[in-house]
Amino acid sequence: MSLNRSDTGGTHMRSNKQVVVVLGATGVVGSGAVRRYLGEGATVVAVSRSAPKLEALKKRLAAPHLLSAVGDFTSDDEAFKTRDAVAAVLGGQPIDHVLSSIGFVTVDQVASATPVATFRAALDGGLFNNFLAARAFLPALKTREGSSFTMVSGGLAHFPPPDPKLWMGTVKNAAVNALTFGLASETLKDQVRVNTVCIHFSVALPGEKKNHFGMPAEKDSDALAPIFPAVARGLGRGQVICLNTWADVERIAQ
């Protein structure tokens, strides 16, 4: 197993009949991935905590056949309920790939002024929900040939944040990257490949020039989206795939 930060190193044969579950499907990154997978002919289950947001996504993507499930990852119970809701809409079809693009960067106070409850809540919303998603979905993926479980993090993981109030983003992203190694170690001999895509630049919604924090974004989530099928169908496992520039997306996704 390679645990270094490198690219995906090769691909499995591409099949359009795959079943993909996208967690955080209504978000900037997740919605681009949903659109991309649908365009490739995959069956996609979009998961969100909000039924109205899922309906809006379906309208926006004009994809009447997009499947969806409402669910959360706040506890084991909620995570397993969400997994069961996904299984129900799939009617027994096995899942090939799970993309977990849930959570966000919480901006609050500088570290020494932040109440511990705020920090805990930030990790609930950015780290523990990814962990609970893994608990819910990994067991079945372990025996599914060619399957993948991919998380999403951000480049804040790697350096002191430019604004000290972003420090929880640094911790959350670094922790998601570290979780990758824990899960990859567990699944070393299994079919499923666990990786994380660590994005070092801003990503906007299509048609926007800034991301949701107001940071200028050179490109949007549609431009980013090819990275996810490439990683899902690649051969890498246990990799934190750092996208330092948009050129890395093109290089890995080609």
For residue 103, state whether it binds ligand NAP (rule: CB under 6 A). yes
Q: Which of 8, 18, 21, 26 binds ligand NAP (CB under 6 A)?
A: 26
Applying CB under 6 A, the span of 76-84, 187-195, 199-207, 225-233 interacting with ligand NAP comes to: 199-207
* Residue with the two structure tokens 């991301």: 211
**What is d(CA 221, CA 202) in angstroms, rounded to the nearest whole number?**
10
Q: Which residues pair with 241 in a beta bridge?
A: 197
Q: Binding to ligand NAP by residue 249, rule CB under 6 A?
A: no
Closest by CA to 200, choosing from 158, 160, 166, is 158
Q: How far apart are CA 174 and CA 153, in angstroms?
A: 8
CB of 47 to ligand NAP, least distance (A): 8
For ligand NAP, which residue of 7, 11, 49, 246 counts as binding (CB under 6 A)?
Answer: 49
Residue 202 near ligand NAP by CB under 6 A? yes
Location of structure tokens 């060619």: 146
Do residues 98 and 141 touch, judged by C-beta distance below 8 A? yes
Separation between Cα atoms, residue 199 and residue 19, nearest integer Å: 24
What's the CA gap between 213 and 129, in Å, rounded?
21
8, 252 Cβ separation under 8 angstroms: yes
* 100 makes contact with ligand NAP (CB under 6 A): no
Note whether 73 binds ligand NAP by CB under 6 A: yes
Is position 240 an interface residue for ligand NAP (rule: CB under 6 A)? Answer: no
The dihedral built from the CA positions of residue 240, 131, 190 and 147, taken in this order, carries a sign that is negative
Quick one: 94 or 114, whose CB is closer to ligand NAP? Answer: 114
Please, which residue, 8 or 101, has the CB nearer to ligand NAP? Answer: 101
Determine the length of the chain. 254
222 in contact with ligand NAP (CB under 6 A) = no
Indicate which single residue of 5, 53, 144, 219 sits in contact with ligand NAP (rule: CB under 6 A): 53
Q: Does residue 4 sit in helix, strand or coil?
A: coil
Minimum distance, C-beta of residue 51 to ligand NAP, in the bound complex (Å): 10
| Cβ pair 96, 19 in contact under 8 A | yes
Kindly state whether residue 19 participates in binding ligand NAP, applying the rule CB under 6 A. no
Is residue 102 involved in binding ligand NAP (CB under 6 A)?
A: yes
Only one of the segments 12-20, 47-55, 76-84, 178-186 lies at the binding site for ligand NAP (rule: CB under 6 A); that segment is 47-55
Q: Which two tokens stand for residue 112?
A: 């020494």
Q: Is 101 in the site for ligand NAP (CB under 6 A)?
A: yes
Residues that bind ligand NAP (CB under 6 A): 24, 26-30, 48-50, 53, 72-73, 101-105, 125, 129, 152-154, 199, 202-203, 211-212
